[in-house]
Amino acid sequence: MQTTDGREIEFEVVGLVEDEDKVTYAVCYSEEQDEFVVADAKGNLLADEELAQDILDDFFALADESEAEGDEQ
């Protein structure tokens, strides 16, 4: 990803989240910036910050559930 000031930041897809309408979003993380972003299926960042936050919240909840299930085994 290139910022408005010309810097490039590398993001890695760390998860996929599907909403109730079966639309898939990619959750991406930059270790360098310690930041998560959400992209649509075409790789475009979501402009709707509220939707992006909802998707991140769902992603973190699913990750917590998976971690808890792994601890039980």
CB 73, CB 45: distance < 8 Å: no
Tell me, rounded to whole angstroms, the distance of Cα 47 from its chain centroid: 13
pLDDT tens track for 17-48: 998 899 999 999 999 999 999 999 898 999 99
Report, as an integer, the average pLDDT of 46-67. 91
Q: Where are the beta strands (DSSP E) in the chain?
A: 12-18, 24-30, 35-39
Write down the domain spans for the chain. Answer: 12-72
CA distance 55 to 31: 19
pLDDT of residue 55: 95
Model confidence at 68, in pLDDT bands (50, 70, 90)? Answer: confident
pLDDT of residue 72: 57
